[in-house]
Structure 1
């Protein structure tokens, strides 16, 4: 047996024999670093720019208890899968001719440990040593994460490196802790491999031949098997988290990303914390936490023996307390001859951590302090893994620390630790450590008396302390938001069972989502690539929170239909996948043809002057989307909207089984997005074909439909120039024939070709209701009532969305509910209930001129397009005595997502019952005094 093998055996055997019993499992807690709390429905918007480093230096936030349980369960399940995956790879590797993989992988030692401890230990779960052998660069299970400064110099051990030792280990050796996955920064050979720096002896060939047609001698050098192994991905897991299940945590690299939209600087680092600062319950830095746990194991602080030692130290005095101090970081080990590594362990220093660090640094002592610290963390992780065994709990901290106790990440390089019991410890700087010379006795005079000294830390997370230090938000608005919460289901948890176990959604009255609202943006999203605060996703995140608050409003939810659940709002970001920078004029010949020197090819950048770069950048990123849409790029833009909407819808149906059969989908389209929505819905099938009814069974990469995979119930247009585009097309807005809306089913006589249109006619859209919300200060918005019938539109009063906030428009004592649900209008009818007498009867000429047939057709069309009998609604914005209209105009086009009246209208119209019977008085169409000579106003029947 070589000296390196003997050293490894003695090293592992020494650690295993030094621990009398496994330490207790830690109540670990997963934290994430994000400016937006994912469990707070009223969390604020992110900072205007997330590009600065200070954005990410925020205190980490804990996942909820329910999410933490799911994360920890998935973490340990992933370890089992990784163990099995490594075993399979190891068995395949050992069977390859020429032994391209070294004699045995980490799974070999895992099997030895299980055989040694018996089959009963295997059922306890896998050990962390195997879990660290993942071939994933940023893996949290695969290597020890340090601070950003440490990670650059932290040596990593390849999974195959430990096999050079394990090949000669006997069956009594415990599971190996030495295997590491390749670092994302660099690779280093195994420290234990460095015991023997001699090159490996060439393997003996079964035959030696000069027959070049015989390729057996090339088996070892053949790259094909290696490529196949590289293509095999190690097991991974994704766990949906957050109060609405809109994010998931990717394991083992511990990153939190959104599920339904592309990340917009909203990815978050996730850490699995084991030790916590007692005064804040924030996690201790990952390297420090692992060093604390290694010292905890070294001193065996959970045993009765340690309690006796503490009592004896207090009785003896300062000298006794000096003996119980544990150095957080071991001293730099002295160089030892490589030929006699056993002397490292058999020396006078019987400290587990000191011995482990000495073994790992004996072959090549670290050159810098960072390298020395990295070796110590590596040794600490080995101790933690061996102490729990291959089937024990994972007591290691994982992840990348970005925030320390006071913001800055610290290592406490010169500090010592006093473990005061089986859970608490105190980090002390040198001037606070016990000293017989100065008579310092921190354990007796401070710690045991409850006085503050040093930095107190605790092992395991305490939810009650966190709730006391960080009380949850309270208030009427928060209560409404929690009542209106809408939760996405996942395969791991069902909304029917989750409220019983998750207190965060226990107060939600309708957590199950029945209505999905997809929001299509308009112009300007190219600008968000340079200015993140303009990103559409941020606006929709705030819009979603306001919808949750409105769903919890008592006046609103009383008008919901029977069986109404929650409303979920998701953005459709179609612009980021498009690029129109391929140039200007192009000939129609094939791209394979040689370039024509007579053809001039230029791009937008070539024709843009370098003057006023800021203004021209805004014009290029915002205003040019409209001419792009009116060019040959239009099919590409429409296809991008369809593809992104279908992708989000398919992903939603995968996470919410049964939604495709029972859920309702609505669309809110803003600006140019509303024009594209009219284009798409004009060609949309009246009913989605049955073979496309279940999107989860479709492969959208292979089969890309040219329409939505869902039937659209309500279409809301906000800041829409769609009326102008209908005018350009010389078309009109018409309902779809045979469309199964509630109003069409109630009046079969309206389902005729004279009233309805067919698929493919521009403006003949397949929806139940269409709403056109207009901000009076928005210069882009146009009305659409006249696109149905101009004369009928002129006969209707201008409709305003009832205001959700009090103002001088409404008399004293008028509540918001009465304005919305009691039929109160901005232009109230005469207070008297007596019908005014006719000033005169209409003349025969007037009756002959009035076309009642056209009016009837127009009224039926309008009613089929909207149950309320009208399409245009003006929303209140701005106003005031000192208002400057031109300044108000600048922000009007993008202000819809924050308008309370618009938000309430969306919630009410999405949640109400279909048909005229479900409409609210405050939104119904009201006619003017027509025909001339008739008094009063009439509501459209």
Structure 2
């Protein structure tokens, strides 16, 4: 109704002593990144109060006028510009939300900023008169000019009321502003004859209950704050995402105008970033940058596809893992703060390729020519499904087109460096560690970036190419649900630690480096983590040393030893009559698979063990609890793989749930890594643990055995 000027000057009320309360919108943003093609069509209706600490910071800066942009919300991830009254993320592209400095409230919600300042200015001039018999004052409000014209005579009031409610829609609508007392004002629009009668000075006292929707009150009440915080997280807008929704055209909401889209945005803002009053700025000593995989272009059409939200879940999961694990607390700098900040890197929005837009190419003879869009060449039959595949699978094809691959690598490197620079700017003197997490195709992107990173790179060089190389050392690299193994296999490429044979310099050509028969990522520790049901995740250890082909991946331990899965493990290990009966019953239910096999706990039936070949060169060890067969890893293989990961292993497998059936769970397994508690606790443990390559963790591995393949499940 009253647009906010981006460059307007400070309020004339900044010098007044007012107990103001600051709010930010959570449902309808002012703007979104260009790729969303979003236009605001209505003002926001739902606002959330800033925490007490943020509120004090904003109010103090507002009055002093020294600083106009402040870091707010959880972990100070957002900037609040008190000059433009806007809230926006610092480290990634995202929606911009309206901010209000609330003085006058309607049902606990601050009214429009400019209108509120206008009412407050008039209130300051009238406050000595209000509350007295002659204190009721009525003004005429013009929405366009935002001017208040006093009405002093009853005749003028009657005339103005008649004009107001008889004005045509084409004329500027007028409202009546009634200052009732020291805390109450009524803003009355065009309405019924009853309202006219109630406003007549000759009628009985105005009944507040009748006009509650038109009443505004001065000051923020404690009960309103409690109500707002109680509603935080109550929305049911966010739920399990169903790929079935993709198959209907109604699921694609290009402008995010639907109520469901707004509810999801509201849910994310309330639950992902709202800061508790007791929260303070955390000390950060480790940054983790996360790169998304395929299908993120759907995020411009579906609020359900939201990598920012995935990373927020991951960030909160790290905090939860620390809270629930005393061992992690001992490793952490503080029992309440692990010192790790997780930030997203989104490359798809900047790629400039959409299935709905024509492709422009330069031709030496014809100049710039236009090719049809993917939608133009899409067959009409099953178009929604084809559009889905186009938005998702096309990302892989783009990455393996040399022109687009170069752009993607450059975009990701530049964004990582930009995030790093912004963090240094907001944290002067910071000298911590940086790790990377890549999911799906994002893992292959990060891997290629690390493989072409030179060995002796001078980050302080004035000619440093920030679009080509990372400007920081990478401590750990976690690949989640990664197709890296099969990509490398198709390229006939091995993976090895950095050495003189596969060293990289700034003079090398990136494409030639990435096409070498053997490549090595420039990082201290490499982790390849996958879920057994994830059909996109592949192993990489056999590409490092062929000996690891016969070894199982290292299991990711359970996050909570008292959890349901751990109880099942204890039952299978216990081996009593009850455990045997439970094992037999569940084995029948799941096609004669044992619980140990289902949970990847390396349990094998006795008859399977009898068929294992015994090699005199292998030092065989049989665990009494899991009945699995382990062998020593050769010294030569250990020497190689320990240069890629201090633990002596690179492949790590998450535990399969008891009721996870591969063919059904495949899609979910690939899309829920950041929600997995076992993975979150494992990553936190590895980030916090003191890593020493002189200390070997894994000297042996569990053998793969006949019948290990899960094809019989399909």
2:260 counterpart residue number: none
Deviations, residues 41-65 of structure 1 (Å, cap 9, x unaligned): xxxxxxxx99898997542112223
Per-residue deviation at 1:606?
5.1
Per-residue deviation at 1:718?
0.6
Per-residue deviation at 1:474?
11
Match of 2:300 among 497, 516, 529: 529
Counterpart-to-counterpart distance in 1, 2:547 and 2:572: 37
Answer yes or no: is 1:736 the counterpart of 2:498: yes
Distance 1:813 1:371, change over 3 A: farther
Per-residue deviation at 1:573?
0.6
2:254 counterpart residue number: none
1:274 counterpart residue number: 103
Match of 1:861 among 610, 616, 640: 640
Deviations, residues 50-106 of structure 1 (Å, cap 9, x unaligned): 98989975421122233233334444565x9xxxxxxxxxxxxxxxxxxxxxxxxxx
Contact preservation (8 Å) 1:559, 1:912? no
1:107-186 maps to which residues of 2 (within 5 A)?
Answer: none
Answer yes or no: is 1:707 the counterpart of 2:466: no
Corresponding residue SS for 1:611: coil
Match of 2:74 among 234, 243, 252: 243
Counterpart-to-counterpart distance in 1, 2:120 and 2:408: 56
Corresponding residue SS for 2:524: strand
Match of 1:27 among 13, 16, 19: 19
Corresponding residue SS for 1:614: helix
Contact preservation (8 Å) 2:141, 2:177? no
Per-residue deviation at 1:722?
0.7
Distance 1:891 1:845, change over 3 A: closer
Counterpart-to-counterpart distance in 1, 2:349 and 2:23: 30
2:265 counterpart residue number: none
Counterpart-to-counterpart distance in 2, 1:632 and 1:772: 25
1:244-643 maps to which residues of 2 (within 5 A)?
Answer: 244-263=75-94, 266-277=95-106, 280-286=107-113, 289-290=116-117, 292-298=119-125, 300-301=126-127, 303=128, 310=132, 313=133, 323-329=134-140, 371=172, 373=174, 413-414=175-176, 416-419=178-181, 421=182, 423=183, 430=195, 440-441=204-205, 457-462=216-221, 464-470=222-228, 504=276, 506=278, 511-560=282-331, 565-580=338-353, 593-595=364-366, 604-605=374-375, 607-633=377-403, 634-643=405-414
1:783 counterpart residue number: 539
Match of 2:524 among 756, 762, 768: 768
Contact preservation (8 Å) 2:22, 2:50? yes
2:448 counterpart residue number: 679
Distance 1:51 1:828, change over 3 A: same
Counterpart-to-counterpart distance in 2, 1:474 and 1:251: 24
Match of 1:689 among 441, 458, 470: 458
Give the TM-score of the pair, scaled to structure 1: 0.52
Corresponding residue SS for 1:736: coil
Contact preservation (8 Å) 1:26, 1:459? no
2:253 counterpart residue number: none
Aligned-CA RMSD value: 4.8
1:658 counterpart residue number: 429
Corresponding residue SS for 1:865: coil
Distance 1:646 1:58, change over 3 A: same
Corresponding residue SS for 1:371: coil
Per-residue deviation at 1:842?
7.4
Structure 2 gap ranges (5+): 1-13, 30-35, 144-148, 161-166, 189-193, 234-273, 506-512, 574-598, 605-611, 621-630, 705-714
1:897 counterpart residue number: 674
Give the TM-score of the pair, scaled to structure 2: 0.67
Counterpart-to-counterpart distance in 1, 2:662 and 2:684: 29
Corresponding residue SS for 2:701: coil
Distance 1:535 1:554, change over 3 A: closer
Counterpart-to-counterpart distance in 1, 2:198 and 2:614: 104
Counterpart-to-counterpart distance in 2, 1:273 and 1:706: 47
2:50 counterpart residue number: 63
Deviations, residues 595-626 of structure 1 (Å, cap 9, x unaligned): 299x9966645543333221221222211222
Contact preservation (8 Å) 1:33, 1:59? yes
Counterpart-to-counterpart distance in 1, 2:664 and 2:641: 35
Per-residue deviation at 1:253?
2.9
Corresponding residue SS for 2:18: coil
Corresponding residue SS for 1:904: helix
Corresponding residue SS for 2:411: helix
Match of 2:437 among 643, 668, 685: 668
Counterpart-to-counterpart distance in 2, 1:427 and 1:672: 55
Q: Which has the higher strand share?
A: 2
Counterpart-to-counterpart distance in 2, 1:246 and 1:256: 10
1:647 counterpart residue number: 418
Counterpart-to-counterpart distance in 2, 1:584 and 1:287: 45
Contact preservation (8 Å) 2:135, 2:180? yes
Distance 1:552 1:55, change over 3 A: farther
Distance 1:717 1:559, change over 3 A: farther
Counterpart-to-counterpart distance in 2, 1:471 and 1:886: 41
Per-residue deviation at 1:585?
12
Distance 1:585 1:843, change over 3 A: same
Counterpart-to-counterpart distance in 2, 1:583 and 1:55: 31
Counterpart-to-counterpart distance in 2, 1:912 and 1:562: 11
Corresponding residue SS for 1:534: coil
Distance 1:769 1:56, change over 3 A: farther
Per-residue deviation at 1:721?
1.0
Counterpart-to-counterpart distance in 2, 1:668 and 1:306: 61
- What count of residue pairs does the alignment treat as equivalent? 565
CA radius of gyration, larger in: 1
Counterpart-to-counterpart distance in 2, 1:840 and 1:904: 36
Deviations, residues 165-211 of structure 1 (Å, cap 9, x unaligned): xxxxxxxxxxxxxxxxxxxxxxxxxxxxxxxxxxxxxxxxxxxxxxx
Contact preservation (8 Å) 1:719, 1:778? yes
Deviations, residues 380-412 of structure 1 (Å, cap 9, x unaligned): xxxxxxxxxxxxxxxxxxxxxxxxxxxxxxxxx
Corresponding residue SS for 2:110: coil
Contact preservation (8 Å) 1:416, 1:427? yes
Counterpart-to-counterpart distance in 2, 1:844 and 1:884: 37
Counterpart-to-counterpart distance in 2, 1:511 and 1:733: 38
1:479 counterpart residue number: none
Contact preservation (8 Å) 1:724, 1:782? yes
Distance 1:472 1:736, change over 3 A: farther
Corresponding residue SS for 2:390: helix
Per-residue deviation at 1:716?
0.5
Corresponding residue SS for 1:927: strand
Per-residue deviation at 1:795?
4.2
Counterpart-to-counterpart distance in 1, 2:123 and 2:703: 86
Contact preservation (8 Å) 1:796, 1:926? no
Corresponding residue SS for 2:116: helix
